[in-house]
Copies of this chain bind each other. A is one copy, B any other.
Amino acid sequence: MGKAKKRWTSEEEAALSAGVYKYGTGKWKDILNDHQFAHCLINRSNVDLKDKWRNLGCNASNSQGSSRRHTGSRYVFIFQMYFL
């Protein structure tokens, strides 16, 4: 019995994306320690960030291989502005 699963919100995902943009991938603790993102990710650990980034499929450069699948056809863009 692990902890209860808590779905990621759009705000959390945006904070994670912004954090990766600022620090690069693999800097999960840095992102968490950044007061700019911390308040959004208060309930997430560095390992959670890593895991989420992985299953977001955001491998920055790797867009081929057809290993990515989306069953839906509609999409929406989320914007957020972050100071670096």
Interface residues in chain A, defined as those with a beta carbon under 8 Å from any beta carbon in chain B: 1-2, 10, 13-14, 17-18, 21-22, 24-26, 29-30, 33-34, 65-84
Contacts and interface: CB of A to CB of B under 8 A. Distances in A.
Nearest to A75: B83
Copy count, this protein chain: 2
Nearest to A32: B65
A68 B33 contact: yes
Contacts of A33: 66-69
Contacts of A73: 83-84
A34 B68 CA distance: 8
B75 A84 contact: yes
Contact of A79 (B10, B65, B66, B79): B79
